[in-house]
Structure 1
Amino acid sequence: MKRLILSCCFCLALSVTPAQTSHTNIDNDQAKVLSVTVEPHQKTPVHQHVVNRVMIYLQAGRQNIDYQDGKKVLLDWKAGEAMWSPASGMHVAEITSDRPVTIVEVELKNPGSSAKAGTSSLDPVKLDSKHYQVEFENDQVRVLRVRIGAKETAPMHEHVLNRVVTYLTDQNFTVTTAEGKVQSVEHKAGDTSWGGPAKHKEENLSDKPFEALVVELKG
């Protein structure tokens, strides 16, 4: 009987789904990038965030956040939306929509600096506003939404700052550098990548539109 009770308890423990699972994609001296999948209708343990973050939501959803000081916050987002999330005190969070949500969290390790994202004459926002648009900007980041249609090409442009890219769709590109070097670049929707300063043009080889979010790091 004792063995049966222990076995049942073990099975019960295995059947409990954790509120969230996470995977570290990037971790360097500027940022830590996590992919966090949060289950619906399960409260997280009490926790806090000690650094500012950029949150990229891969699926639509809603979330309640209850702070220990009594403050309550309701978040509601669309698939592919980016939000600024400042450092916060102790709280419990719960996804109140009915499906799991995967969130790419870009944790910012450094304060903002005098670095400016748009200083180049080849800044993509100035040069190619059809494909590059600013979602939001502050003293730590500039967040760009990139949309390149099927078989379209984005002209030669320059990224001055290091950046984190989150792919909202699959990517099948050829990238040509200012020196003429041609590279094939492929990613799956939900992937993240790290990029340094670069000057290049990009061609979408796919017959489907491409979309990504780029977090340029000023610190």
Structure 2
Amino acid sequence: MDPVDANPQNYRVVFENDRVRVLEYTDTPGHVTTAHHHPDSVMITASTFRRRLSSNGQSVDVELPAGVARWMSSQDHYGENIGETDTHAFFVELKEPAQSASQGPSGSLGPEGP
């Protein structure tokens, strides 16, 4: 499910054209999202936060500082703010199809490091 449709109180479209869609995401400590899908994206953090991302019985805890950009391979997940600060991030979703059907080089859940 599209993140904006699944979690309209948290995601909003801030820009869109035929090649990309940019989403802004915000939440507060303790908030849990409904499961949703992200295409291949670049995530840019506007705040420091801690989150737990879960999908298909797998979970990963992510802690990121403000002001970083991370690649995020196409994935379905739900997230929980497990920190003490609000989450604020932007997602630049790519509309072009991936060159392979894999989940990316690492096949990992969540954002990948630099």
Q: TM-score, normalised by structure 2?
A: 0.80
CA–CA distance in structure 2, aligned partners of residues 207 and 183 of structure 1: 17
Q: Which structure would you say has the larger RCO, counting Cα contacts within 8 Å and 6 or more residues apart?
A: 2
Tell me by how many angstroms 1:208 deviates: 1.6
Q: Which residue of 1 aligns with 2:104?
A: none
Task: Mark the runs of 5 or more structure 1 residues left unpaired by the alignment.
Answer: 1-121
- Equivalent residues of 1:133, 1:146 under 8 A apart: yes
Cα RMSD over matched residues?
Answer: 0.9
Residue 149 of structure 1 is aligned with which of 4, 10, 28?
Answer: 28
Sequence identity of aligned pairs in percent? 31
* Aligned match of 1:196: 73
Report the count of equivalent residues: 96
Q: Name 2:18's counterpart in structure 1.
A: 139
Alpha-carbon shift at residue 216 of structure 1 (Å): 0.3
Q: Which runs of 4+ in 1 moved over 2 A?
A: none
What's the TM-score, normalizing by structure 1?
0.43
Flag structure 2 segments of 5+ consecutive residues without an equivalent. 97-114
Larger Rg, first or second structure (1 or 2) = 1
What are the superposed Cα offsets for residues 124-162 of structure 1, whole Å, 9 maximum, x if unpaired?
111110111100110111000000112111111111x21
2:42 to 164, 181, 186: 164
More strand by share: 1
Higher helix share: 1
